[in-house]
Structure 1
């Protein structure tokens, strides 16, 4: 029996979907409900349901980022979006992330049942494909090449993660902070960073910080320790070590040789 989670900040909708949809007809049952995205993430990571029906715009959460996170971490899970906004561009982006259906509130019962049927159809197709024996080459391809919608979700996550780092590099930033901003586990984000940048999180963050430091070194009025603090390093010695490792010269040498500034 397929397990479903329903997420909406309007309790009347959650209760309505739980009761009016013909779950048993499609061999499904509702195992949990949530009123916000944060709680939904906790439930999904614990229960790993087969399908999700969720509102796309809830307080304090970016709906598309949430969908991208779920599609990346749980690529087999099928998702139907409920939205009070008939925004074609928004719907198109959601579909590119692999969403099964995009239903506009108030949705007709027939539309919701069709969404349920489509999610079940996809789950059955996936199960049937998994049951078929694959050749060595096919098995290798399947393991290394994600589905297009999963790839799209991963790209979406990495783009948002890099943007968050660009905006918060000067803070005491951790992998957990960035992972929470894009709604994935830190383990999953670490894996995606390695896949798309061939770097670790610390290497990526240091790269952004050193790039910003090189910009600040163009101002001869700024001392090295001031630049170190401005780009997020709490220890100027550590900053100097990282700068030299990445640029093969000290920050002072960079300023003197490349920009012609005085030593500080």
Structure 2
């Protein structure tokens, strides 16, 4: 049996799809349901379904980021999304990320059935077995989307204590997978990307002789001056003081 997960913040939709759809018709079994994106993400990693039907306008989540995370981490996963958004650009991006069907709310049972039929047909064409797709890192549109969002998040938050786990949560992938993606696409670890971002900013700030080096270290996210000194020398090839003397 193919495993399907249903995610929506409206219980009536989740219960309706779970109980009224003729799942046996497509050799499907509802393996779990969730009522928000974070819960749904955890459920998917736990049960590893073959198909997902999900809303993308639930509170506290970015639907496109969640879709990108799922398609990058589980590339054979078939996804149909339920949405009230009618903007063409939004729908186009969802399709680019690998969504099979975009179903506008309110939707008919016929539309849902057609989506499930198409998803199951795609799985059979790809010869995907009923035990799901966690596989190695692949360079595709979804993974590129995730890396872009991860780098943007790092750039916007480098001044505070930032962890791989937080960035992974914001991009809807596991820490392990985000680490692999960054190494594959950027050729660097999360730690090196974060520190390189901080040191690049520190270099610019060091050109201002009125700023104390200790203040610069703190401003770019280092609470420990000794740590800042070690990292600066690693990435700049000289001490912060030497860099200032050359460039101020």
- TM above 0.5, yes or no, is yes
Deviation at 1:144, TM superposition (A): 8.6
Structure 1 position 145, deviation (Å): 8.9
Among candidates 173, 182, 188, match of residue 171 of structure 2? 182
1:218 pairs with one of 192, 207, 211: 207
After superposition, where does 1:168-179 map in structure 2 within 5 Å?
168-179=157-168
How far, CA to CA, are the matches of 1:69 and 1:242 in structure 2? 31
Distance of 1:228 and 1:258 partners within structure 2:
17
Identify the residue that residue 140 of structure 1 maps to in structure 2. Answer: none
Change in Cα spacing, 1:128 to 1:105, as seen in structure 2 (3 Å) is closer
Which entry has the higher C-alpha Rg, 1 or 2?
Answer: 1
Greater Cα shift, 48-57 or 108-117: 108-117
CA drift at 1:37: 0.6
Equivalent residue number for residue 236 of structure 2:
247
SS in 2 for 1:39: helix
Structure possessing the higher relative contact order (Cα contacts under 8 Å, 6 or more residues apart): 2
Contact 2:64–2:94 under 8 Å retained in 1: yes
- What CA distance in whole angstroms lies between the structure 2 residues aligned with 1:145 and 1:36? 26
Q: 1:166 aligns with which of 142, 155, 160?
A: 155
Distance 1:21 1:102 in 2: 18
TM-score (norm 2): 0.94
Corresponding position: 1:237 with 2:221: no
Deviation track 1:156-184 (CA, whole Å, cap 9, x = no partner) reads 10011001100110111111111111111
Hey, what's the Cα distance between the residues in 2 that align with 1:3 and 1:101? 18
Equivalent residue number for residue 102 of structure 1:
102
CA shift at 1:21, angstroms?
2.1
Q: What runs of 5+ residues in structure 2 fail to find an aligned partner?
A: 130-134
Provide, for residues 193-218 of structure 1, a one-character-per-residue CA deviation record: whole Å limited to 9, x for no partner.
10011111111111000001012112
What secondary structure, in the 3-state scheme, does the structure 1 residue paired with 2:127 have? helix
Of the structure 1 ranges 19-28 and 88-97, higher mean CA displacement relative to structure 2 is found in 19-28
Instruction: Note if contact 2:73-2:137 (Cα within 8 Å) is conserved in structure 1.
Output: no
Unaligned runs of 5+ in 1: 130-142, 260-264
Distance 1:128 1:59 in 2: 33
Match in the other structure for 2:18: 18
Corresponding residue for residue 60 of structure 1: 60
Q: Does 1:37 align with 2:26?
A: no
Q: Is residue 93 of structure 2 the alignment partner of residue 93 of structure 1?
A: yes
Instruction: Tell me, in whole angstroms, the C-alpha distance in 2 between the residues paired with 1:204 and 1:101.
Output: 36
* 1:241 Cα deviation from its structure 2 partner: 1.5
Contact 2:53–2:81 (8 Å) recurs in 1: yes
The more displaced of 239-248 and 188-197 is: 239-248
- 1:44-83 → structure 2 map (5 Å cutoff): 44-83=44-83
